[in-house]
Amino acid sequence: MHLIIDVGNTRAKLAVYENNSLKKRWVVEKKNLLNKSLKILKNDPDISHAIISSVAHLDEKGLNEIDKKAKLLVLNKDVAIPFKNLYATPKTLGVDRIALIAAAAHQYPGKNILVVDAGTCVTFDFLNSNNEYLGGAISPGLTIRYEALHKLTAKLPLLKPEQIEDFIGDSTATSMHSGVVNGLVQEIDGVITQYKNRYKELTVILTGGDTNFLAKSLKSSIFANSNFLLEGLNVILEINKD
């Protein structure tokens, strides 16, 4: 069994996989990551291997404690991956994006895949039908957009995401919601259309913390999977654990 750990910009996700089957899943604050990991390993001695992906700095002492309980793989640019990386600057490619494309390569072989990860940032990552990763785009997510409006202006309030009833806002708050939420939805739909114009056969995966919030508003045909990154990490661990 595997312990999968994904450390994002704001929170950490942990999951236990048996083969390719998700057994349990948790979301914790980053400060509680080590304690939660050790508790999971203590309660489930059948976990033999673990993998961690982090967009932030990792504490070596904590990693060593996890490694004592289960053989730990830290995802980095040198780890074996199930696709050909054609990114012009492979050393700068985020480990979260590597994991997402690993999931795409494993689950949709021979397909053109666009993975949209809607979290703190929104990332677009493209894998072509030849199993080649070409790159994509990085854009501000919902939270960053709301915070920017508040912090970089004199009077606009700090709001939390809300579904909009109409794209024409009739107050400051509804105008901000329309600008942020409708703006991001239109951006995602627009980017998907760009890819579809170039690649007629395209499968689109929407994942990340804002998946459920955004999925109902998108016009494009998508597959929503909030665990896609975790599944990719499990694929990479399976490839590398021997």
Residue 121 per-residue DSSP state: E
Residue 95 annotated in ligand binding: yes
- For residues 149 and 143, is the Cβ–Cβ distance under 8 A? no
Question: What per-residue confidence (pLDDT) applies to 181?
Answer: 96
What would you measure as the largest C-alpha separation in the chain, in angstroms?
60
From 44, 46, 67, 96, active-site residue? 96
Question: What per-residue confidence (pLDDT) applies to 157?
Answer: 97
User: Tokens 């202006």 label which residue?
Assistant: 153
3-state SS assignment for residue 187: helix
Q: Is there a shared CATH topology between the 2-74 domain and the 84-232 domain? A: yes
Residues of the chain falling short of pLDDT 70: none
Residue spans per domain, the chain? 2-74, 84-232
Residue 146 annotated in ligand binding: no
CATH superfamily of 84-232: ATPase, nucleotide binding domain (3.30.420.40)
Question: What per-residue confidence (pLDDT) applies to 230?
Answer: 96
Question: What per-residue confidence (pLDDT) applies to 60?
Answer: 87
Query: Two tokens at 204?
Result: 């689109």
For the 2-74 domain, the top CATH level (class) is: alpha beta
Share of the chain above pLDDT 70, in %: 100
Residues ≥6 apart with Cβ < 8 Å to 104: 83, 113, 115, 125, 127, 205, 232
96 is catalytic: yes
Question: What per-residue confidence (pLDDT) applies to 10?
Answer: 76
Residue 97 annotated in ligand binding: yes
In whole angstroms, what is the distance from residue 92 CA to residue 95 CA?
9
In degrees, rounded to 5, the angle at the alpha carbon of residue 195 between the alpha carbons of residues 189 and 200 is 115
User: Tokens 């982090």 label which residue?
Assistant: 54
Residue 122 annotated in ligand binding: no
What H or E segment, with its residue span, contains residue 215? helix 211-215
